[in-house]
Structure 1
Amino acid sequence: MDLGESELLLRLGVAFLLGGAIGLERESAHRPAGFRTHTLVGVGAALVMVLSLSITGADPARLAAQVVSGIGFLGAGTILHEGPTIRGLTTAASLWVVGAIGLACGAGFYLGAGVAAALVVIALVPLVRLERWVGGKRERKVLRLEMEDRPGQLGQVGQVLGRLGISIKGVEMEEAGRRGRLNVDLTVRIPPGVPVERAITELGQVAGVHAVISDD
């Protein structure tokens, strides 16, 4: 398949614009992968698809599959673990989608690429407000713990909360009256359906945790 110069520029240009539009939203949200990263992924994926279509006898699906798997590794670099909380999954997903959009542009499937880009922007901008509104309905509490002052103790507490779907939003600690112990205040967000009493009970069973109370 021999593409003219104008068609080649069109395919790469559309990939640049669509990838950049998604990247601008990620840039405004101060995510690790922003405008330039998304633009490069979109243009690169489009070029790979154009190249695969231009090589006589080549199977376009083989190179396209390599793009998809390669973006998986790139997206993994944007995922951060912060205690029981995982951040960066949305950015990793947006990179993967931009790669798919770039492949679509490289294949000349402009309608599908445009519709997909529009849906991604909708998911990242208006729907995030709905997500935050729903998330705001989750109950926030402060859990006060007295526990041993030793390495890994707070991590064990975080693992228990993570299993319950409870995210930690703030941590304050000070030395307790007893030597070798800490008083720790955890500001947590508890999802609907998880009673705070269950969290207190399970935290109380962690070795090294001597007392757990809630702020109410």
Structure 2
Amino acid sequence: MDAPTISHAEIILRLAATFVLCGAVGFEREVRDQPAGFRTHIILGLGSALFTMVSAYGFQEFFGEKTVRFDPSRIAAQIVSGIGFLGAGAILRQGVTVRGLTTAASLWTTAAIGMAVGAGYLFGATAATVGVLAALLALRRFRSAFISRLRLEVSDLEVSFSRPDADPSPLISILEAHHATVRTLDAEIEGGRATYHLQVRVRPPHDLHAALGEIARQSGVERVAATGLRDLE
């Protein structure tokens, strides 16, 4: 059996296709101000494509040797597991909100697109790119229009009072009046001030904005902060 070969023109074509397809995914992440954007996705895709081509065509001098087992999928298989550290670096936790999961998934899929192009499976790579962009762009509107109306909103509130003996009961009453449920309540007293940390769940179509304004107007309240109000990923 002859060793598999690939021309220089084909290598350039596959790398260029990887650049365009993975760049399209990275561009969407870039305009969304995500930590892994345009260049990251392109570099990741090019690396995956090159690894795949090296795995398939880079060891021709050993092909046909009886003592050498030729398996073009061995290097490519390590890409799937090795890409995990990049995805983990894109995931951030902010209070009750976990951000970066979509970007991590796009990195993982970009690696698959690069592998597909590197293996010469251009149709599959193009179809996957279209699918990823549809999920990132078209389904975002669907989520905003429909899913967000059904999903519970979980937020972290931090309310600081100017005195240490402040009663948190009015806070709970205000939140409940605005259709919010307090899941947890923690208190911190330091330097003559009292700070309450609340984890709140709100059922759609209600939100916390009106409640936050009412809490901020309460006597003795110095600061009101909230995290997790909206997932903008």
Same-fold status (TM-score > 0.5): yes
Q: Partner residue of 2:161?
A: 175
The structure 2 residue matched to 1:53, chosen from 41, 52, 56, is 56
Question: What root-mean-square deviation, in Å, do the aligned CA atoms of Structure 1 and Structure 2 show?
Answer: 3.3
Does residue 117 (structure 1) correspond to residue 104 (structure 2)? The answer is: no
Structure ID, larger Rg: 2
Deviations 1:77-104 (A, max 9, x none): 0000011110000000000000000000
Once the two structures are superposed, the pairs formed by residues 118-133 of structure 1 within 5 Å of their partners are: 118-133=130-145
Structure 2 stretches of 5 or more lacking a match?
Answer: 64-69, 173-178, 189-195, 201-207, 215-233
Does residue 88 (structure 1) correspond to residue 100 (structure 2)? The answer is: yes
Distance change in 2, residues 1:37/1:184 (3 Å): farther
Q: Is the 8 A contact 1:47 1:106 kept in 2?
A: yes
Q: Tell me by how many angstroms 1:60 deviates.
A: 2.1
Number of matched pairs: 178
Does residue 8 (structure 1) correspond to residue 11 (structure 2)? The answer is: yes
Does residue 43 (structure 1) correspond to residue 24 (structure 2)? The answer is: no
Deviations 1:36-56 (A, max 9, x none): 000001111000011111123
Does residue 203 (structure 1) correspond to residue 215 (structure 2)? The answer is: no
Letter in 2 for 1:35: F
Q: Is the 8 A contact 1:174 1:183 kept in 2?
A: no
Does residue 63 (structure 1) correspond to residue 63 (structure 2)? The answer is: no
Q: Partner residue of 2:175?
A: none
Q: Tell me by how many angstroms 1:179 deviates.
A: 3.2
Identical-pair percentage: 40
Structure 1 stretches of 5 or more lacking a match?
Answer: 140-164, 187-194
